[in-house]
Structure 1
Amino acid sequence: MPNSTQTRFTPPYQESELLYNNVTGYNPAQIIMGRNDQFNNTYDLFNATLAPAAEVTLDQKYRVELNTIKFQDIGDSEIGTYNMSDEIFTLYCNNSEPYYERDDASLISLSNSIVDPGDNPVEKAKKIYDWVSDNLVYNGGLPAQEMGALWAYTNLQGDCSEYSSLMITLLRIQDIPARKVTGFLISNNPSLRPKAGDVWNFYASDLGSNMLGHAWMEYYVPDIGWIACDPTWSSATGYFNSIDFLRFNLNVGANFFFPPSFTMSEFSNPVFVHSGGLYNFNYDIKITVLASNLLPSGSFPILLIVFIAVGVAAVLITLIIIIKRSRKKEGAY
């Protein structure tokens, strides 16, 4: 949603267009398309009751443009003044919440020890980014459940969620709005240079997945906007104040409300909530590169890649979800 409180001034490192959307295989009890949450994420909801061995299929196609964005040499004169009454502070700064314990005394002490009082927001972000990257040890064997900032600091380890949560929390303590971004990677090789015609196939099911889920973060600077960083990838050519074309942003924010009555700290894609019987699911994504104007590796201007998915004679991202119930049950949204 352009020019909203949550997105204003955000650089266009991802622009998406939904080309096709269809749900088949059942008579929906309720379907809500294009719903916006408080963080400005757009999503679809549906629920249904399926007979034994029946299935429902969601088929979507997107055209997505990804850009590499890098902010360099931001000076004091370019940085505006924070409006502390802005909704951004309510959503992304003022409140201590699960996994972002900005009121914890040990985290407050840590944050204040990393930065200097005279630092501008970008200088504070760089010092916090460096501390998180230098002091946490990556642990890819953690459970899927998010552990949070305080746990990461206490244990000095984490995966991408903990790296991002700790950086976000330390920034919020300095009254700098910050938020998590979650999505997935087409590759964890930062030297990859996609070209037109390249294809990737990803899947997730009740039996396993080859999707490269990932989390990174953004912080807000007045008169600049939201600036993306990836503290987990700090050693890979530097991801402070920069983001590349290897990741798909699925949502921003945290502790999402999910019908009928609970919240999720990180919003996976898709999400199933059910009562009663068991079910199987298959989630397939095919990504095809439509066009690319990438420069040789080592250069870092604004770059553009256009992705698209199957089913159309050019490019799209195709998302196909098939949910099969083993016996009659009702799925809630």
Structure 2
Amino acid sequence: MKSRNIRYIILYCIIPILIVSQFSPLIKLEISNIQNSINLSNSGTSNYTIPQNVTYQVETNFSIQQLTGSGNYYLKFAKLNNKTPDSSLMRFSPPYQKSFPYDRFILGNIPSQTDLDHQDRFNNTYDSFNISLGSIINPEFIYGQKYNVTLNEIAFDTIQDSEIGDYNYSDIMFDLYCNNSVENYNISDPDLILASNTIVQGASNVVEKARKIIQWIRDNIEYEASEDEEKGASWAYENKKGDCSEFASLMVTLLRIQNIPARKVSGYLISNNPRLRPTVGQSWTFRFSKSETGNFLGHAWVEYYIPNVGWISCDPTFYQSDSIYFNYIDFLRFNLNVGQWFYCPGSGPDPGPSDDYKSEFPNPWFYGLSSGDIDYEYQFKVTVLEANLKPQVWIYFLAIGLPIIIILAIVSYIIVRRRKKSRELFYY
């Protein structure tokens, strides 16, 4: 009888699991279809879904104070651009980031020059100021921005050859993101040319080439955190290591060698944990100051372009531990800049416009000449306003499996009790 009871218990445990496994895909599919209704665009983007998204309130605040003496300063702040199919600035972009700025303020010293909402050649947007501060008169300048930002999880479906359009090689994107060999993206490097051509052998289309390249980087480049300036694709290939900057630069360069427009995206992560599920009301505050290095999670990833599909995101750094990050991006990163070599006055070894560029924009950028001491602080506060997330798998089990187990346990108990009574009556 013990063996029979054990068989009953095993059977009652397996049945709910089988039922859950049958129902879970149906529930997930229904949620996915609801989210897909967001994806309506005829702006050169297609084949993506939005399984989940999170809306955040973002508050930025920068302050600089002249403690002694006086100084003249140049300040430049990157803005959180709208990256959506209908954006006038970011063409052919799926809805990675829907940004709504609703407040911008200046306190303290009035800038001598102000340039709001100006763009660089990649259409990144900035606010810039020239200010003069004195320790007694006009000692402080404060600048802040507020946004509501929706970050969408974007996943691309299987892209068929018939869905890939023809490249327009006269489009300006090829000058910006493909044709020219620049520092850190040396498409003329013979070693990188040979590597790129070898890696993509056998690939039938653009997507397969990109897949082979990101897989090669995962298998051959070791992640090594660094606080140094970006070293570029050739260095990463030669030394077989790097951080997110080198991972992104190498993937971009190997793609460009194949005549595929590709660009680096830089911004801030909320967390290094890709499994994080933000909840309404949850908040994070990132800051740095003159006396503190800060806790910002700066990061770089990649977008490559396919006609009729748009700019497709990949994260070669995260791909090392999770292969989902090919043709996929999460809702945990704020997009600040795309492209390379950004104008940062005063950053070059010799003062002058030709030298004043940095490979990645160090937001915010400020530079000046001071005859005394200063103090400064930058803060980036993020608060969750809305989280449209799919239920986790264990919730399906609790919602469907647990009641079934309880019912079957009760039925089993009743059956065992009745059999016990019938045996008692028989022997009586």
Structure 1 residue corresponding to 2:336, chosen from 231, 250, 256: 250
Shift of 1:4: 6.9
Q: Deviations over 1:261-283 (max 9, x none)?
A: 21111012111111234532111
Structure 2 residue corresponding to 1:241, chosen from 323, 327, 347: 327
Does the 8 Å CA contact 2:203/2:209 hold for their aligned counterparts? Answer: no
Structure 2 residue corresponding to 1:98, chosen from 169, 178, 183: 183
Residue 175 of structure 1 aligns to a residue in which SS?
coil
Q: 1:3 to 1:95 in 2, by over 3 A?
A: farther
Structure 2 residue corresponding to 1:220, chosen from 305, 311, 321: 305
Does the 8 Å CA contact 1:133/1:163 hold for their aligned counterparts? Answer: no
In structure 2, the partner of 1:168 is 252
Does the 8 Å CA contact 1:196/1:291 hold for their aligned counterparts? Answer: yes
Shift of 1:286: 1.5
Does the 8 Å CA contact 2:244/2:317 hold for their aligned counterparts? Answer: yes
In structure 2, the partner of 1:41 is 124
Residue 60 of structure 1 aligns to a residue in which SS?
strand
Shift of 1:119: 2.4
Structure 2 residue corresponding to 1:270, chosen from 357, 364, 378: 364
Shift of 1:133: 1.5
In structure 2, the partner of 1:156 is 240
In structure 2, the partner of 1:68 is 153
Q: 1:221 to 1:297 in 2, by over 3 A?
A: farther
Matches for 1:201-216 after TM superposition, within 5 Å: 201-206=285-290, 207-216=292-301
Q: 1:227 to 1:293 in 2, by over 3 A?
A: same
- Rounded Cα–Cα distance in structure 1 between residues aligned with 2:104 and 2:89: 26
Matches for 1:1-333 after TM superposition, within 5 Å: 7-52=90-135, 54-116=139-201, 119-140=204-225, 142-206=226-290, 207-234=292-319, 235-259=321-345, 261=353, 262-277=356-371, 278-297=373-392
Shift of 1:104: 0.5
How does the TM-score come out when normalised to structure 1? 0.85
Q: 1:186 to 1:162 in 2, by over 3 A?
A: same
Does the 8 Å CA contact 2:115/2:127 hold for their aligned counterparts? Answer: yes
Residue 63 of structure 1 aligns to a residue in which SS?
strand
Q: 1:205 to 1:297 in 2, by over 3 A?
A: farther
Q: Aligned AA for 1:184?
A: Y
How does the TM-score come out when normalised to structure 2? 0.67
Q: 1:116 to 1:298 in 2, by over 3 A?
A: farther
Does the 8 Å CA contact 2:344/2:357 hold for their aligned counterparts? Answer: yes
- Rounded Cα–Cα distance in structure 2 between residues aligned with 1:64 and 1:4: 14
- Rounded Cα–Cα distance in structure 1 between residues aligned with 2:392 and 2:243: 27
Q: Deviations over 1:241-269 (max 9, x none)?
A: 00000101111111012347211110121
- Rounded Cα–Cα distance in structure 1 between residues aligned with 2:202 and 2:362: 38
Does the 8 Å CA contact 1:24/1:57 hold for their aligned counterparts? Answer: yes
Percentage of pairs with the same residue: 52
Q: Deviations over 1:75-107 (max 9, x none)?
A: 101100111111110000000001000011000
Bigger radius of gyration among the two: 2
- Rounded Cα–Cα distance in structure 2 between residues aligned with 1:28 and 1:100: 37
Q: 1:289 to 1:203 in 2, by over 3 A?
A: same
Residue 153 of structure 1 aligns to a residue in which SS?
helix
Q: Aligned AA for 2:336?
A: L
Q: 1:131 to 1:285 in 2, by over 3 A?
A: same
Q: 1:203 to 1:218 in 2, by over 3 A?
A: same
Residue 209 of structure 1 aligns to a residue in which SS?
coil
Q: 1:298 to 1:77 in 2, by over 3 A?
A: farther
Shift of 1:9: 2.6
Q: Deviations over 1:212-260 (max 9, x none)?
A: 0100010000110000000000113520000000101111111012347
The number of residue pairs the alignment matches comes to 298
Residue 324 of structure 2 aligns to a residue in which SS?
coil
Q: Aligned AA for 1:273?
A: Y
- Rounded Cα–Cα distance in structure 2 between residues aligned with 1:201 and 1:218: 27
Q: Deviations over 1:292-314 (max 9, x none)?
A: 11113479xxxxxxxxxxxxxxx
- Rounded Cα–Cα distance in structure 2 between residues aligned with 1:133 and 1:11: 25
- Rounded Cα–Cα distance in structure 1 between residues aligned with 2:143 and 2:119: 19
Q: 1:3 to 1:209 in 2, by over 3 A?
A: same
Q: Deviations over 1:174-206 (max 9, x none)?
A: 000000000010001011111111111111112
- Rounded Cα–Cα distance in structure 2 between residues aligned with 1:252 and 1:240: 18
